[in-house]
Amino acid sequence: MRPWWYRRQQPSPESPGRGSPLLRPLALWHAPELRQLAEGQDILGLPFELGPSLRHAMLFGFLGRRRWSRLFTSRDREAGVSLVQVVQEPGPDHWLITRLIVPHTSPGSDPAVPCQAILEEVVRVAGSYGIKRVHALLPPSGPVNDVFQRAGFQPFRPLTVMRAERLHTGTPVDGRVRAQSSHDAWSVMRLYERVTPRPVQYAESRTRASWQPGHRAGWQIRGFLIRDHEQTLAYCQVRSCGSRHVLEALVDPQVIDLMPGLVSSALASSGVREGDQVWALVPNDIPGLRGQLESLAFRPVETRVWAARYTAQRVRARVLKQARTLRDLQEAVAAGVPVYSQLRRDAPPLVELTTD
């Protein structure tokens, strides 16, 4: 017997999604099917984990659904079992696809082609959860990039993935660097708007909450910055999960020489030890940043490109719930979310004129 979630989300013959694969949240009754994933491949192939490890994500999925990390499975009689992992990053209304595991195909066939329908279903499910954008970190070219673009994902920012070859523990902390506090998010947001191209800002849709320290998507977030009396000049965010660390940096091009001291102090203050894996996401549109990290023994590993896809939220109106539907429509329109409704009725006149 299929679970209630499966029966409710099964597309009807009249729906436009007929024939598309169905994504289901990971549950205990899917455990026998997960054995097939051991023979599958992750077509994204990220060199590091942007979310929790797959083992921990499965454990969290079995014990209880987590809002910041979700696993979805899809089963096809011919293709087999596929798995999609998403995390809420960089905000609660964004999903970042961190894994897309599909079964191995026959020699000579393209493993990314069957994934287009799965990606379209991910976007549909994201809209049902109230998510506005779905992001992915893709190869700059190739079949994986092509299939994501066919599914509606648009590349908007190329970057270089770098890894620290040698870590110098015990690096003295620069006296100009201080740890970020909660009230610094506004100043960091202003720095982000100064140094980031406007199209990238529209695609990422970051808010002040994106720069807050704390815990998010299974990571411990720490921030470090250098300020003058009026504004933030350079900023470094370090995400830590055990022995894995990922850093992102923002800097005014006029003070690019501040980055080595800022990054070294940030890693030392974050408790990074010798033998830990330290990665850096370096946007190609910030001139000089890659060279500053190379002076700290960071070496480029590969190039990637951020891609984004908007979602659509469907609103179905009923006669007894018109007030609730209209309220949902007003909130969605105010948030800038594309909405289409099945409500059809004749609109009454705005003004009625009566004469004696």
Query: Could you give the 3-state DSSP secondary structure of residue 191?
Result: helix
Question: Is domain 160-305 given the CATH code 3.40.630.30 in the classification?
Answer: yes
**Mean of all residue pLDDT scores within the chain:** 77
Contacts of 148 (CB under 8 A, 6+ apart): 119, 136, 138, 307
Give me the percent of the chain exceeding a pLDDT of 90.
26
For residue range 215-245, list pLDDT tens digits in order. 877 788 999 999 987 789 999 999 988 888 9
pLDDT band, residue 348 (cuts 50/70/90): low
Domain with CATH 3.40.630.30 in the chain: 4-152, 160-305
Of residues 154 and 345, the one with the higher pLDDT is 154
pLDDT (0 to 100) of residue 271 = 83
Distance CA 96, CA 69 (A): 9
For the domain spanning 4-152, the CATH number is 3.40.630.30
pLDDT in tens, 6-21: 444 444 333 444 456 7
Q: Could you read off the pLDDT of 325-339 as tens digits, one per residue?
A: 667 766 766 666 665
Q: What percent of the chain has pLDDT over 70?
A: 67
The pLDDT score that the predictor gives to residue 247 is 92
Those residues whose C-beta lies under 8 Å from the C-beta of residue 152, and which sit 6 or more positions away, are: 119, 120, 123, 309, 310
pLDDT at 54 (0 to 100): 66
| pLDDT confidence of residue 236 | 93
309-326: average pLDDT: 60
Most confident of 208-217, 281-290, 306-315, 335-344: 281-290
Dist. CA 153–CA 130, nearest whole Å: 18
